Structure 1
Amino acid sequence: MLVLLGCGVVANVALVRTKGFNGGFLMVNIGWGLAVFAGVVVSYASGAHINPAVTLGLVANGATEFGNAAMGTTVAVSFLSVITYIGAQLIGAIIGAVLCWLAYKQHFDEEPEPANKLGVFSTGPAI
């Protein structure tokens, strides 16, 4: 959800012939903020493991269980559970990126500037 919505708003601002083309950095910031909110809401049952940084941060902080105790979805922290969470997060990110690309495929095909296409899925220097 995070990658799908976040990259979707960047594609809408960066790619030519979209209705949000040249919407500016504020539109991107608000869109990414809503993407993070939606990602946390969707991942609530898992304890908001929205990306590997959250999972690894909890492990580094000494978490003994993952999940949401109020919902009864807790799992004991083990190497296997950490790898499972991170694997699921990476698969979700890939699916989100593919869905974003499919949603904006015609716009990607029309975009003459390769840097704008790359900028949807990654960051780079301004110069």
Structure 2
Amino acid sequence: MSSSDIFIGETIGTAVLILLGAGVCAAVTLKHSKARNAGWLAITFGWGFAVLTGAYLAGGVSGAHLNPAVTIGLAIEGGTKWSDVPLYLASELLGAMIGAVLVWLAYYGQFRAHLTDPEVLEAHRGEEGMVDPAAAPKAGPVLGIFSTGPEIRNAVQNVVSEVIATVVLVLAILTQGLNDNGNGIGTLGALITALVVVGIGLSLGGPTGYAINPVRDLGPRIVHALLPLPNKGGSDWGYAWIPVVGPLIGGALAGGLYNLAFA
């Protein structure tokens, strides 16, 4: 597998993953979206289909890691060369940022309408992130379209939740075996992994929103900080390390557990 294969596959696959995953969050959240208030089931299945599509696109090219936690787990397991890990991680982050920008473009009108709606502005008046909360309210939960956040802000619990959910994901991938390239999931594995992601969302997504993927959270959070969204509020950088560190620990633990119990 060449460096260009890794770069192209991971960038495109992760971009599609975020486009469809963050896209369902936008569809459920934003005013003037036909799917507004569709709920948690729509989000969990939307993310599952996002994984399925991204993995199908990238599987035959780069192995469809689409997730640094998966890359780390595969490197520890032995299916991915450590020398390839930096390129995988950089490509995944780039793809995640591209996907987030595409969501903004697809929902541009809905973002503008939502973030200038008087009812939304009033509902979120004085929330964290505004330069002058008394004069300019934060508008709406649009950060949740781009990145995750906890229901109860407790760093230890939040990290543990992300670790547990990521161990389930990466261990489920590792125990499927590798594709013909020997460096990722096969075609059937993409479907199984998508269903595992749905299951994680339904069962373990409640505490933190189940990032289970560092670039799924970090890339769109960077884009949220950079995009010219009116009244968008802060990007919650104080929490941003948790959905990066937790999944990386979970991916490493899953790789080690696989070698101990299944190899």
| 8 Å Cα contact 2:75-2:82 kept in structure 1 | no
Identity %: 47
What is residue 116 of structure 1 aligned with on the other side?
Answer: 141
Q: Which structure has the larger Rg?
A: 2
What is residue 237 of structure 2 aligned with on the other side?
Answer: none
| 8 Å Cα contact 2:114-2:140 kept in structure 1 | no
Match for 2:26: what amino acid?
A
Kindly indicate whether residue 101 of structure 2 is the aligned counterpart of residue 105 of structure 1: no
What is residue 96 of structure 2 aligned with on the other side?
Answer: 93
Q: State the TM-score, normalizing by the size of structure 1.
A: 0.82
Structure 1 SS opposite 2:36: coil
Structure with higher RCO (Cα < 8 A, 6+ apart) = 1
Structure 2 SS opposite 1:20: coil
Deviations, residues 74-101 of structure 1 (Å, cap 9, x unaligned): xxx142x211111111111000000001
Listed as ranges, the gaps of 5+ residues in structure 1 are: 67-76
Match for 2:27: what amino acid?
N
Bigger shift: residues 45-54 or 81-90 = 45-54
Inter-partner Cα distance in structure 1 for 2:41 and 2:85: 35
Kindly indicate whether residue 46 of structure 2 is the aligned counterpart of residue 31 of structure 1: yes
What is residue 236 of structure 2 aligned with on the other side?
Answer: none
Bigger shift: residues 25-34 or 112-121 = 112-121
Listed as ranges, the gaps of 5+ residues in structure 2 are: 1-15, 121-138, 153-263
| 8 Å Cα contact 2:17-2:51 kept in structure 1 | yes
What is residue 18 of structure 1 aligned with on the other side?
Answer: 33
Q: How many residues align?
A: 114
What is residue 125 of structure 1 aligned with on the other side?
Answer: 150
Kindly indicate whether residue 11 of structure 2 is the aligned counterpart of residue 8 of structure 1: no
Structure 2 SS opposite 1:23: coil
